[in-house]
Amino acid sequence: MATIKDSVHDHIDVTGVAEALLDTPEVQRLRHIKQLGTVQLVYPSANHTRFEHSLGVYHLANRALTHLDIGGKHADRITAAAILHDIGHGPFSHNIETLTHRYTGKYHDDVEELLSTGTVGSVLREYDLDPAYIADLIRGDGKYGQLVSGELDVDRMDYLIRDAHHTGVPYGTIDTERLLRELRFVNDELVLDEGNVQTAESLLLARALMNPTVYTHPVARISKAMLRRASERLLDAPDITPEQLRRMDDHDLLVALRMDPETQSFAERYDHRKLLKRALWTEIHDVPNSLFRADHDEISNLESTIADRCGLPVADVIIDIPARPSIKESTTRVLVNGEIRNLGQQSPLVNTLRMAQREQWRLGVYTRSEDRDRVGRVAAEELGIDSDHGLISEVRHHGVQARVDEFEE
């Protein structure tokens, strides 16, 4: 047994197949991938890694198995999936996942190949565990996959409290012990037992508050967009493939960006925190529907057009259009009067948070500080956005004019 001191859960005892997997190269690689990607440029202490998070998920999975009275081979499979659930992540976690998916067709939870080969595959076979079955659990398939990846998964429980702890914000604090204690399987569905609507709401609220404060903070979005753009240019080099990029860690990617002449300027900006600024920051109701349907090539063409009209290199104009707002936690299942109901059907808080999320949504166009006025106006014209909305050389905040730089530090 290995006992590890954790900043969130105190001491974690790692035993069995999880202990055997702990020192495999695939799991140790996670020490070099930050859990929150570029969020450290906003919150300097947000340097925790996917390795720490994986330990936390394993720990909470063990607690859930105890409360649900699950043991034997099922327990081994679930704890293996918990410790391995993030080994498919690329550098900077989710920050370039949309890019690598476009080239490879794989997301971070497409890990069957990783589980069936190498040291991990050998360990799983030693413990008579089917790599394909573990991969299914990581994707959230089947009855027990809900514990690893679902609306009530231990992954979410750990990352919320861990991210809150390391960023120093209070919003991700949730009662994990209550959540784990109240989990039940009803007709093979993972639900919260009677009397736990508010328990489910606490998970929903924590995620809703962490989203604008941490996960989609403007600086995090800008740095993520810059990193994705630079990584895309890196793939134009003949010696780096999308699969190689996907298997890099954070340090590998930064070194590659510093070494390539096409991406050196980005690496310098990142190293010195000299980020692009917001030229356009537009609410969802001002964005034409056509932009939500635009594919990568169409967005790239718009970026090129805006840059050409402003006499700038295309690398200095980035259009950032997030997905339409959604609240996955609204489908969390709770028992009410013996009936399984979705939280969205039972809780009036869900509709309130949906409206809040919609109000928080913004389309962004980023450029150099000295060019943002003209880029903002040209971008508004090209994107079909009313030029009176979203231009932020100055931002009106609660009736007071404030420099945008104050919001981007």
Taking only the tens place, the pLDDT of each residue in 135-161 is 999 999 999 999 999 999 999 999 999
The reply to whether 292 and 156 lie within a common domain is: no
Task: Say whether both 168 and 283 belong to one domain.
Answer: no
Q: What pLDDT, on a 0 to 100 scale, did the predictor assign at position 392? A: 66
Q: Which of 182, 198, 228 is the last residue of a domain?
A: 182
CATH label of the domain that carries residue 385: 3.30.70
* 189, β-bridge pairs: 186
- The reply to whether 194 falls in a domain is no
- pLDDT for res 387: 62
| Strand ranges (E), 165-275 | 183-186, 189-192
Q: What is the pLDDT of residue 388?
A: 63
Q: What is the pLDDT of residue 64?
A: 97
Q: What angle do CA 361, 364, 370 make, to 5 degrees?
A: 145
Q: How many domains is the chain built from?
A: 2
Please say which residue of 163, 182, 201 terminates a domain: 182
Tell whether 230 is covered by a domain: no
Return the beta strands (E) in 314-405 as ranges: 318-320, 333-336, 339-342, 362-367, 394-397, 400-403
Please check whether residues 173 and 280 belong to one and the same domain: no
Low-confidence ranges of the chain (pLDDT < 70): 387-390, 392-409
**What is the predicted pLDDT for the residue at 172?**
81
The predicted pLDDT at position 362 comes to: 96
Which residue among 182, 199, 215 closes a domain? 182
pLDDT in tens, 23-82: 999 999 999 999 999 999 999 999 999 999 999 999 999 999 999 999 999 999 999 999
In a shared domain, residues 6 and 124: yes
41 vs 222: CA distance, rounded Å: 10
CATH number at residue 53: 1.10.3210.10
The reply to whether 98 falls in a domain is: yes
What is the pLDDT at residue 245?
95
Residue burial 196-215, b: 16+ Cβ < 10 Å; e: rest = bbebbbbbbbbbbbbbbbbb
Q: What confidence score (pLDDT) does residue 222 get?
A: 97
Same domain, 169 and 283: no
Q: Based on C-alpha coordinates, what's the Rg of the chain?
A: 22
Domain that residue 84 falls in: 2-182
Task: Determine the pLDDT at residue 250.
Answer: 97
In this structure, the answer to whether residues 304 and 155 fall within a common structural domain is no
Query: What is the pLDDT at residue 329?
Result: 74
**What is the structure's pLDDT at 399?**
33
Q: Extract the tokens encoding 192.
A: 């919260």
Residues 176 and 314 in one domain: no
* 108 backbone dihedrals φ, ψ, rounded to 5°: -65, -20
Residue 116 lies in a domain: yes
Contacts of 248 (CB under 8 A, 6+ apart): 90, 91, 256
Question: Is the domain of 169 the same as that of 284?
Answer: no
The answer to whether 312 touches 158, Cβ cutoff 8 Å, is: no
**H or E stretch including 278?**
strand 277-283
Q: What is the rounded end-to-end Cα distance, in angstroms, of the chain?
A: 44
Residues 161, 280: one domain? Answer: no
Could you tell me the two tokens for 367? 């450029």
Contacts within 8 Å (CB) and 24+ apart, 133-142: 133/77, 134/77, 134/80, 134/81, 134/84, 135/111, 137/77, 137/78, 137/81, 138/81, 138/84, 138/85, 138/88, 138/109, 138/111, 139/109, 139/110, 140/109
Q: What is the pLDDT of residue 239?
A: 84
